[in-house]
Structure 1
Amino acid sequence: IISGCGRAIVILGALLKSAREIHEMRTLGLWNYINSTGSIFLENVLACSFCTGIFTAQIFHLFEMQQHETLILAFTSLIGWGYMFFFIMPFRFTGPFVIMIYKMLFNDVLRFCIIYIIFLAGFSQSFFILFNENGFQGYISSIKQCFLGLLGDFDLDYYVGGKYPLTSVALLVLYVVVITILLLNLLIAMMGDTYADVKKSAKKLWHLERARIALDLENGISKSKRDLNFNKYWVDIQGERYLQVEQVNNDLNCPIDDETNDDD
């Protein structure tokens, strides 16, 4: 009974969230919805992925495909908890750090992964040929060995004991130098630059993301409710609409020091 009630609550929540996202697509237009940026993009991707995962899991449940249902629910649970980042982003204490993680993932880590996949495929195929492994499973095994080499977990005797030990060891050394020493340190350097950039303009970025979240919430309610006084987050000054932001001067709520010129 408890399991059934929990499943019903989750499905109902996914239906309500899907209805809200569809309403937002109609309000903004599909193209604007897809091309959103910042926190709105994060919210749209996580919300759509979560709802899709829940509905897909229920389809597998109806057809008694328990293994597929379990896999989908595992990823959906991760996405659901990741959705919490959207709710802690408006707060000054956590917002800048969420922005850092977002920029590092979609800029630095993404570029690193693209470059690394090219090297991984190349070295994996080289070792696949040198060790004369057959079939798709042999290539997957070669990829696994190269990936473990990225983490420093490789067996030197495995490469020495092959048919071409000198060539294998030389390629292994080249792989370690290029990937472990060069690319990983380059990734760390890029993350350091991203941290410095976000730290320099932390207050501006935080206000920007907070405004985006307010706009996203506004798009989710009807125009009649939007015009109510207690729902307004702006003030009208001489016919112009200005965003109303509460600024608290509290060092405990400022994990990242802003530059003095940010206040200008």
Structure 2
Amino acid sequence: MGAPPPKAEGPWVQLQKLLASWLVREQDWDQHVDEAHMLQQKRISLKHFHPLLEAYVTQQDKIRLVGELVTVTGAVIILLLEIPDILRVGASRYFGQTILGGPFHVIIIIYACMVLVTMVMRLSNMNGEMVPMSIALVLGWCSVMYFARGFQMLGPFSIMIQKMIFGDLMRFCWLMAVVILGFASAFYVIFQTEDPANLGQFYDYPMALFSTFELFLTVIDGPANYEVNLPFMFGIVYFAFTIIATLLMLNLFIAMMGDTHWRVAHERDELWRAQVVATTVMLERKLPRFLWPRSGICGYQYGLGDRWFLRVENHHDQNPLRVLRYVEAFKGSDKEDGQEQLSEKQPSVSATESGTLARASLSPLTPSLSRTTSHSSSHRGWEILRRNTLGHGNLGLDLGEGDGEDNIYHL
């Protein structure tokens, strides 16, 4: 048996379907209009970019044109100065070593490239030139920190900031991105069925990401509207997000920066002095040859031809009592480490045994200046001065031992 023929629909049923479809389309259109109106309200732009021929009309525009030409010229000069150094030293060594500038050269090169990209977009009347322009402005001001190394007050701190940004902050950003992506997706799903007019923090996914980022840094509080009821699941997810983000990860980041500050504090002065030397050498290399100052004495005055010589003076202190005072002064710094050993072996030390103790302090078995002596350049310099003063590094200085008298030899 075949299937029964379909029942014919009357005009009343067809009219009902037509009205229902029209109502559905009307609701969809109203929803689309509401969404477009909401997006239009979010836009706060009142001005638009003019084309190239209309951008330089008034007197202020001409003054701005002069500044733009200076900026473009500076960007070209930066690239002309940086590219030869990269080819000469090598990219890995040029960008990887802190002494040579490290990441600051990357910032300066990207800044110059963004300025040139902005110029090309301006000349070709392309939209969106505010993107490379904003990046260039941020990187340009960040590159000012590169020139802070010339000041003793700011140089070590710029090194500390550089270590924290490219060390702890980069690792923390990876963890932060994972947490924000996970919780932003959860918040977006929870508020997907809610009215965006009452709770618009998680209306769409990009807005949910930005709101979650602000919640992560405690810039804003959690969304609250006392006229409506929040979803029950939001309280549970927000509680977990607060514990993980605010209490755990931010305090972990602070602890990481404190540990980095403690480690770098011992060597930041050395790095700063090395950076000053490297910057001085770089500036001398950039100067033309005829602007280089000549140091020393010309050999024509002494019949030595066209050669330049540096005067070297050797100063020898002929006062043995002053040397002994240096010995006693540096011996006092060793009392913290060897006081117990000296008290056990020698309960009392007479004045006639000072030469013997001075020679004993020069023996290879003597402990270092201090167990907690830092490895900074200042402590190493004092250690070298101490050894040279005591004669530990100069075999020409000897302290007598046999008859209790001090014999000092100078070379």
Q: 1:14 aligns with which of 75, 98, 111?
A: 75
More helix by proportion, 1 or 2?
1
Give, in whole Å, the separation in 1 of the partners of 2:254 and 2:149.
Answer: 24
Q: Distance in 2 between matches of 1:111 and 1:261?
A: 28
Instruction: Determine the structure 2 residue equivalent to 1:120.
Output: 180
| 1:130 equivalent in alignment to 2:199 | no
Instruction: Supply the AA of the counterpart residue of 1:138.
Output: D
Deviation at residue 54 of structure 1 after TM alignment: 0.9
Equivalent positions of 1:45-194 (< 5 A) are 45-65=106-126, 68-132=128-192, 138-150=204-216, 151=218, 152-157=220-225, 161-163=229-231, 165=232, 167-194=233-260
CA deviation vs aligned residue, 1:59-99 (integer Å, no higher than 9, x gap): 1110223x522332222122112211111113211111111
Q: Is the contact between residue 120 and residue 146 of structure 1 (CA under 8 Å) also seen in structure 2?
A: yes
> When the two structures are aligned, how many residues end up with a matched partner?
234
Matched with 1:252 is none
Residues 29, 221 of structure 1: CA spacing in aligned structure 2 closer, same or farther, 3 A cutoff? farther
How far does residue 32 in structure 1 lie from its aligned partner after superposition?
3.5
Relative distance call for 1:28 and 1:169 in structure 2 (3 A) is: same
- Counterpart amino acid of 1:161? N
- TM-score, scaled to structure 2: 0.50
Measured against aligned partners, the alpha-carbon deviations of 1:198-233 in whole angstroms (never above 9, x if no partner) come to 3233322212322343454466567x6798646xxx
Question: Residues 34-45 of structure 1 correspond to what in structure 2 (within 5 A)?
Answer: 34-38=95-99, 40-45=101-106
CA contact (8 A) 1:145 1:154 kept: no
The answer as to 2:259 corresponding to 1:198 is no
> Which of 7-16 and 29-38 deviates more?
29-38
SS of residue matched to 2:192: coil
Conservation of the 8 A alpha-carbon contact between 1:23 and 1:220: no
Q: Which amino acid in the other structure matches residue 188 of structure 2?
A: F
Give the secondary structure class of the aligned counterpart of 2:136.
helix
Flag the structure with larger Rg. Answer: 2
3-state SS in 1 of match to 2:188: helix
1:147-196 CA-partner distances (Å, limit 9, x unpaired): 232215212459x9344x0x321111111011001110111111122222
Verify the 8 A CA contact 2:96 2:103 in the aligned structure 1.
no
Structure number with higher relative contact order (C-alpha < 8 Å, ≥ 6 residues apart) = 1
What is the alpha-carbon distance in structure 1 between the residues aligned to residue 193 and residue 207 of structure 2? 9
Change (3 A) 1:178 1:36: same
Deviation at 1:102, TM superposition (A): 0.9
The 1:176/1:226 distance shift into structure 2, 3 A limit, reads farther
Q: For residues 234-245 of structure 1, what are the structure 2 equivalents within 5 Å?
A: none
Q: Which moved more, 1:193-202 or 1:8-17?
A: 193-202
Contact 1:43 1:83 in 2 (8 A): yes
Among all aligned residue pairs of Structure 1 and Structure 2, give the percentage whose two residues are the same amino acid: 25
- Deviation of residue 121 (structure 1)? 0.7
Going from structure 1 to structure 2, the CA distance change for 1:42 and 1:125 (only over 3 Å counts) comes to same
Amino acid at match of 1:101: I
AA at the equivalent of 1:117: A
User: How does 1:215-254 map onto structure 2 within 5 Å?
Assistant: 215-217=281-283, 220=286, 229=294
Question: Taking structure 1 as reference, are residues 133 and 120 closer, same or farther at Cα in structure 2, changes over 3 Å only?
Answer: farther
How far 1:56 moved relative to its partner?
Answer: 0.5
RMSD: 3.2
Contact 2:192/2:203 (8 A) holds in 1: no
